[in-house]
Amino acid sequence: MDILNQLIQGFATAGTPINLLWAFVGCALGTAVGVLPGIGPATAVAMLLPITSHVDATASMIFFAGIYYGAMYGGSTTSILLNTPGETASMVTAMEGNKMAKSGRAGAALATAAIGSFVAGTIATLMVTLFAPVVAEYAVRLGPPEYFCLMLLALLTVSAVLGRSTVRGLASLFVGLAIGLVGMDQITGQARYTGGVPELLDGVEIVLVAVGLFAVAEALHAVLFEGSSHGSQNKLSRVSMTASDWRRSLPAWLRGTAIGAPFGCIPAGGTEIPTFLSYAVEKKLAKGEHQAEFGKKGAIEGVAGPEAANNATVTTALIPLLTLGIPVSNTTAILLGAFQNYGIQPGPQLFTNSAALVWALIASLYIGNVMLLVLNLPLVGLWVKLLKVPKPQLYAGILIFATVGAYGMRQSAFDLVLLYAIGVLGLVMRRFDFPTAPVVVGMILGPLAEAQLRNALSIGEGKWTVFLERPMSLGLLGVVLAVLVLPRVFKKRG
């Protein structure tokens, strides 16, 4: 029981008072940013990246994981109570959750979302515990060609497959790759696009790009286009579930988990597909009067299933991040950046070289789930008060934290000008419906993929056929092709 021993070791590390405190603060902060509109987990983690220069790796990864997790719990609160659609991750929850809240069942919707998140999160963490070491062991055997194919898969799905338009997705991806090019070439050490500025040798800071694209762009968009819009809020009822609610929720949670978990494992990110899939399944399986509730009074299965699927996907997404070093979303990309700040490159070696850190992180996920259940069930009324913060103060406050993140990283006032410029870029992108995730993922994954590509070609002595000669990489290229072609074929057929 090697895994069990290491997990116990992890609990010992994560259970020290100071690490528990980091986990708690992370979960609380995560819930807060999840509840507040205009700021999400990716922004929050990015703003706090400067702490990586002073706080030790284990503590800050536990902290960041808490934010990552907590935001998922908080996000469902907002989507159930506010009548405006929030992030894509909680869009499906909003469909039924909103209807339930309107018919006076907000409390039950919140409860099933929180408990469902807990059930799914815990099962998915168990899967991370059991499978991540296995995947890592297997991944050691992958060579540069296979890695490159996996990264290509991640880059192409995030830009070309998810989202409304392939052309705009690819445009965003290329912009991200272009930003990633700035700095020293990983293999030859040659400077590229630095314009002779020594600070740029290390590349463009992730904080600047992420905070600019998300926080500053969001605030600029709010001031420019959302002035007169007022969202209305549903009334909170007692947060509890009846026996019948439990009976209906439990199978939905488990089905949602079963649907969501596999999606996180493959480097083809996004929570939209599993949540929509879970919603469709629940609607199909519901019978009689329960089915009639869908879209009318609001069916509890339609909240329980997608919410569980969402959390399961988000949790198992840590498997490709930790074992392969491949991020599939904004937040995991920024978490990868946090690892890099410590000089740690997630990948198969992580489980041997930084075993203590990884297992403490996994243990903290179990702990975090329990903390979040407590934070979100009895204390949900507290978080709902956050929705009362008026918009001007909310966005102006976000700008202060954006400044802390951007300035704190390098102590350069010029970075603040750059932050504004990236914010304007993000505003234009949002206005014309260019997705932002490909920029962040491309910027972080691009240099890694380039290095793998060149190493792969070195192995093949300069011949591109190296990708076709190895069965594993050939198979992965097949998957890439399938992911690109199949959705289009299905769409054509309706």
| Residue ranges that bind other proteins, judged by CB under 8 A | 50-51, 53-55, 84-85, 164-165, 167-168, 170-171, 174-175, 177-178, 181, 185, 187-188, 190, 192-193, 216, 219-220, 222-229, 391-393, 395-397, 399-401, 403-404, 407-408, 411, 413-414, 416-417, 419-420, 423, 428, 432-433, 446, 450, 453-455, 457-458, 461-463
Query: 155 or 308, CB closer to other proteins?
Result: 155
User: Closest Cα to residue 436, out of 236, 51, 163?
Assistant: 163
In the bound complex, what is the minimum distance in angstroms from residue 463's beta carbon to other proteins?
7
In the bound complex, what is the minimum distance in angstroms from residue 229's beta carbon to other proteins?
4
Contact 314, 264 (CB under 8 A): yes
In the bound complex, what is the minimum distance in angstroms from residue 188's beta carbon to other proteins?
5
Virtual torsion, Cα 285, 289, 291, 297, nearest 10 deg:
-140
In the bound complex, what is the minimum distance in angstroms from residue 436's beta carbon to other proteins?
15
In the bound complex, what is the minimum distance in angstroms from residue 55's beta carbon to other proteins?
7
Which of 221-226's residues contact partners 24+ apart within 8 Å by CB, and which partners? Answer: 221/427, 221/430, 221/431, 222/38, 222/391, 222/395, 223/395, 224/427, 225/431
Give the Cα separation of 72 and 306 in Å (integer): 12
Q: Where are the alpha helices (DSSP H) in 190-265?
A: 206-211, 217-225, 243-265
Give the Cα separation of 392 and 390 in Å (integer): 6
In the bound complex, what is the minimum distance in angstroms from residue 147's beta carbon to other proteins?
15
Query: 96 or 245, CB closer to other proteins?
Result: 96
Query: 14 or 222, CB closer to other proteins?
Result: 222
Beta bridge partners of 183: 192
Measured between alpha carbons, how far is residue 202 from residues 181, 199, 206, 420 in Å? 10, 7, 11, 21
In the bound complex, what is the minimum distance in angstroms from residue 454's beta carbon to other proteins?
4
Read off the tokens for 444: 């972080």
Query: 301 or 450, CB closer to other proteins?
Result: 450
Query: 42 or 219, CB closer to other proteins?
Result: 219
Query: 404 or 472, CB closer to other proteins?
Result: 404
Query: 237 or 403, CB closer to other proteins?
Result: 403
Beta bridge partners of 191: 184
